[in-house]
Amino acid sequence: MMGFSLSLLGRWVTSPVSAVISGRPARMLRATLVSAAVALGLGLAGCSAPLPAHYAAERPVLDPSRYFNGRLDAWGMFQDRFGKVVKRFTVEMNCRWEGDTGTLEEDFLYADGTRERRVWTLRRVAPDRYIGTASDVVGEAVGVIAGNAFNWRYTLALPIDGRTWHVDFDDWMFLIDDQVMLNRAVMSKFGIRMGEVTLSFTKR
């Protein structure tokens, strides 16, 4: 969630999806179907994705209004579906809360010198649930918190070559201590894994 922008990824995100949609090359489509079948088989064998409730006993407890308050720094990278690092970046965050509503301002600096900005608005709607919005988020991000873990699910609108791609994020944050939080987000389209983002946050 906090700490990444897709508009600079270009072909690394859209090229595998374009190939599947257009039918070229055929071997990519076959490989995708085989991978899906393998994943389905593993799921039927008893593997299941983790839920926030699995981390309910973990400490320290993550309180977004406490951690995302004031100034933070983050360091991150994007890896494509093959594991290759294709983007590195840093983020400076300025966060504030009024009651159950938080504003998270993110300023990105990429390794190539490019800069970008995103502003999130978070609302606490239940003791363990949050809703988030930003200008490039489709609809609302939905977050569930338990223990030291925070799971966000949302869709980002990615403009590429005159078209807009909707890319799904399964975003996990884990509070390590009062200062440090780790973040890993998996990106997908049509159920096809596009890559993942890894970040480390530190409070000033």
For residue 29, is pLDDT > 90?
no
Backbone phi, psi, residue 36, to 5°: -65, -40
183, 196 in Cβ contact below 8 A? Answer: no
For residue 187, is pLDDT > 70?
yes
163, 154 in Cβ contact below 8 A? Answer: no
Q: What pLDDT, in 10s, does the model give residues 116-141?
A: 999 999 999 999 999 999 999 999 99
Token duo for residue 73: 């720094």
Residues 38, 40, 45: CA angle, nearest 5 degrees:
95
User: What is the pLDDT, as a whole number, of residue 201?
Assistant: 98
d(CA 59, CA 67): 14
Predicted confidence band of residue 161 (pLDDT cuts 50, 70, 90): confident
Token duo for residue 180: 């440090």
User: Which alpha helices (H) appear in the chain, and where do they start and end?
Assistant: 11-22, 26-44, 64-67
Of 85, 93, 86, 89, residue with least CA distance to 110: 89
118, 132 in Cβ contact below 8 A? Answer: no
User: What is the pLDDT, as a whole number, of residue 158?
Assistant: 82
d(CA 142, CA 85): 28
Percentage of residues in the chain having pLDDT higher than 70: 76
User: What is the pLDDT, as a whole number, of residue 22?
Assistant: 47
Predicted confidence band of residue 152 (pLDDT cuts 50, 70, 90): very high
